[in-house]
Amino acid sequence: MKLIIGFVVVILLWMIYFATQLSATYAPLKSYRFSMTTEELQERLFQVVDTNPNMTLNLSDSTGTDKENRHYHADILIKGETEEYEFSISYYTKDGLWKNNDKSVVSLVGAFDRVNRTGGYKIDNTDIEKLITVFENQVINKIDKNSSR
């Protein structure tokens, strides 16, 4: 009987460990709101990337069950002569009280300086503040040029 109870406890602990590892996520480093739909935001994002030959955008995933509640995930890579940055983002529409009051949100999930091997997913990682500034200057400010936040 003790063997069976021990076996059940081990299985339960293993299941709890596995479940916590799968659901472990980090809070965004920073989020930005825009007064536009997700489609408009995505179009602006593509425009920013298309006008910068050192920048690429890789759509990596989407989550959600329908188009209205979908979250998109992407990586933005910026390569210069002496720098190489990678930014992991997610973006989605946050519904307002009225249909014409939709706000899109871009969340910076991870920021990395590939040359200096700094950055990460947590706000207290090395050089995160510097990387957030790079992201804002290279991406957010250019999306925001013609948008009201």
Amino acid of residue 149: R
Which residues are CB-neighbours of 131 under 8 A, at least 6 positions away? 85, 87, 111, 112, 113, 118, 119
Residue 87 confidence (pLDDT): 98
pLDDT tens per residue across span 68-111: 677 889 999 999 899 999 999 999 887 655 555 668 899 999 99
pLDDT tens per residue across span 4-62: 776 666 665 555 544 444 334 789 999 999 988 888 999 999 999 999 999 999 988 87
- Which run of H or of E encompasses 113? strand 103-113
Residue 135 confidence (pLDDT): 97
Q: Which two tokens stand for residue 89?
A: 């983002």
Residue 148 confidence (pLDDT): 46
Q: Which of 85, 88, 66 is nearest to 77 (CA)?
A: 85
Domain ranges in the chain? 28-146
pTM: predicted TM-score of the whole model, two decimal places: 0.75
Select the CATH number that applies to the domain covering 28-146 from these four: 3.40.190, 3.30.460, 3.30.300, 3.30.530.
3.30.530
2 φ, ψ (degrees, to nearest 5): -65, -35
Residue 142 confidence (pLDDT): 93
Residue 139 confidence (pLDDT): 95
